[in-house]
Amino acid sequence: MNSTNVPQRYAKLSIAMHWLMLFLFVGVYACIELKGLMPRGSAARSLSLGLHALFGLAIFVMVWIRLLGRIMPAPAIAPRPPRWQIGLSHLMHLALYGLMIATPVFAWLMLSAQGKPVPYFGFMLPAPISIDPTMAQQMKEWHELLGNAGYWLIGLHAAAGLFHHYWIGDNTLKRMLPARLIEKKPDHA
């Protein structure tokens, strides 16, 4: 820690959870894209949908833990970016957290309205709404809309981190990288 008691990097747990969330997002999107290549009713398609749901629910659980972690002071970006960039960063994070909360909720509502159970590690989530095919279609549309928006949000988030690292040269990305990736190795003579 520096003299102002603000850490230079995020805590190891925050870093691990950030990259685990990326892995889960890759799983969510890979499963749904692969599903389209499989014949309807096949075991592989069912497995892909099941894994999609499992990864999505894991994101939903983890986002609440990550939100709790936001109570802690964030490492400062050095050099400090202009206020408009900080504002955009806050909007981007708000959109990403909204995505991680709303997308699984719409899926849960969609499945409930279709009368389908929502299993999670052997437990069945309760149906918050009754069977309603019209509502199921609306929830499906919102779920897919948010899922498609997720490609853009995640891509912009990654691009912003890379832009800050390679173009601006600040520590935005380094604050979230595991220490072993940013530690300088001694030169050998």
In-domain check, residue 184: no
Domain count, the chain: 1
Average pLDDT over residues 3-15: 79
The answer to whether residue 125 is domain-embedded is yes
Containing structural domain, residue 148: 12-177
Give the separation between CA 82 and CA 128, rounded to whole angstroms: 44
State yes or no: cis peptide before 79, omega within 30 of 0: yes
In a domain, 148, yes or no: yes
Instruction: Quote the CA–CA distance of 106 and 98 in Å, as a whole number.
Output: 12
Residue 67 lies in a domain: yes
Q: Is residue 64 part of a domain?
A: yes
pLDDT of the residue at 184: 61
Domain membership flag for residue 187: no
pLDDT band at 4 (very low <50, low <70, confident <90, very high): low
Q: What's the pTM value of the predicted model, to 2 decimals? A: 0.87
- Give per-residue pLDDT as tens, 134-173: 999 999 999 999 999 999 999 999 999 999 999 999 999 9
Q: Which helix (H) or strand (E) holds 141?
A: helix 133-163
- Tell me, yes or no, whether 106 lies in a domain: yes
CA distances from 78 to 8, 14, 70, 98, 122 (A): 9, 19, 19, 27, 46
Does residue 134 sit within a domain? Answer: yes
Please state the three-class secondary structure of 28-88 as a single string.
Answer: HHHHHHHHCCCCCCCHHHHHHHHHHHHHHHHHHHHHHHHHHHCCCCCCCCCCCCCHHHHHH
